[in-house]
Amino acid sequence: MKWFSLKKREEIPAKKAWLIRIVAVVLSVLCAGLVILLLGFHPFVTFGEIIKGALGSKIRLTQTVLKAVPLTITTLGIIIAFKMKFWNIGGEGQIMMGALAASVVALNFPDMPRGLLLLCMGIAAVIGGGLWAFIPAFFKAKMGTNETIFTLMLNYLAIKFVTYLQYGPWRDPGSKGFPKVADFTQNAVLPNVFGLHIGWIIALLLTVAIFLFMNYTKKGYEVSVVGESIDTARYAGMNIQSIIITAMLISGGLCGLTGMIQASAIEKTLTYSLSAGMGFTAIITAWLSRLNALASLFVCIAFAVLLQGGAYIQISMQIPAAVADMIQGILLFFVLSSEFFLQYKVSFHFKKAKGVA
């Protein structure tokens, strides 16, 4: 007996779509609260501490914003690739190569005027990240290789190469045996604006720029068309290979810029742990924002609240890190699952059992 059936939705009203998302969030909170209760913690207190840990003081709010900035910029890069249905899983590696390129400039030209040095570091980071993304884009465009595996493997290559530099040729002789790259000079450190490094302004400007690029430019339109149907794009006379490579140069360049910001403003040096999983997290936030640049800003802020609050409750309530990760996982599971119901309609069928004479 067939109990239910699935049907692809052609279109769903905006109000109904938002209702589904709200229901998903409410259910995720209820489920997470139940798990917290079963583990012996008070759900309301725990959720309150998460909000308090992320927004409860100036220092905590600052840490939340510092997490949101690189996540937002990386998400913008991932959105461009995903909009074209090029599954760029290489954000980690592109961040690292952007940081590496920026570090080459910072370490070799420490006495350059600050404004010029930071500009050169930013350009180098965009080029470094863009070229690292160009490699899988080239092979995808020319040979049809699998970009998911290609970009994923390049992550480890980039991280291991930076690790080699940190423990080998670039190891600072003055670090007293500790394997680290020399610190940047003050000229290579991003300035603060209103108590935060200027990266938050860069993130806001890039959000608007990418939104306009994707929605109001010819190249952005071409990226969307290729994502919808390569055959349609080819029939319209679009250069598929050029579009793929261009989009990936921009995608990788944005991730590379994230690396420069993290190296300059946060680490103030180059380290193999600099990306901190940001490239993978951006995949989630890109999907949650439905590949919309403006929406991604708010999604990344909300996710940063969750990350910062999750870290805080580990200290304030002595909750194990695994529990904090579990809460994040439950919330993400429900929110991502809501996308299924936005794409498909589920119909249940109930038939009365026939009586036996």
**Confidence band for 1, pLDDT divided at 50, 70 and 90:** low
Least confident of 262-266, 329-333, 344-348: 344-348
- In angstroms, rounded to a whole number, what is the distance separating the alpha carbons of residues 27 and 302? 17
pLDDT at 4: 67
Number of folded domains in the chain?
Answer: 1
Q: Is pLDDT above 70 for 349? A: no
Q: In this structure, what DSSP letter does residue 188 have?
A: G
Percent of all residues in the chain with a pLDDT value above 70, rounded to a whole number: 96
Q: Is pLDDT above 90 for 118? A: yes
| Residue 84 phi, psi dihedral angles, 5° rounding | -95, 5
Q: Is residue 5 situated within a structural domain? A: no
Q: Is residue 1 situated within a structural domain? A: no
For residues 116-124, give the mean pLDDT. 97
pTM for the predicted model, two decimal places: 0.90
Q: Is residue 232 situated within a structural domain? A: yes
Give the residue with greater pLDDT, 266 vs 47: 266
Q: Is residue 280 situated within a structural domain? A: yes
**125 CB contacts (<8 Å, ≥6 apart)?**
98, 99, 101, 102, 256, 257, 259, 260
**87 CB contacts (<8 Å, ≥6 apart)?**
81, 147, 148, 151
Q: Is residue 74 situated within a structural domain? A: yes
For residues 231-256, give the mean pLDDT. 93
Q: Is residue 9 situated within a structural domain? A: no
Least confident of 39-43, 150-154, 165-169, 302-306: 39-43
Q: Is residue 151 situated within a structural domain? A: yes
Domain that holds residue 191: 70-296
Q: Is pLDDT above 90 for 340? A: no
Which structure tokens are listed for 208? 């608007």
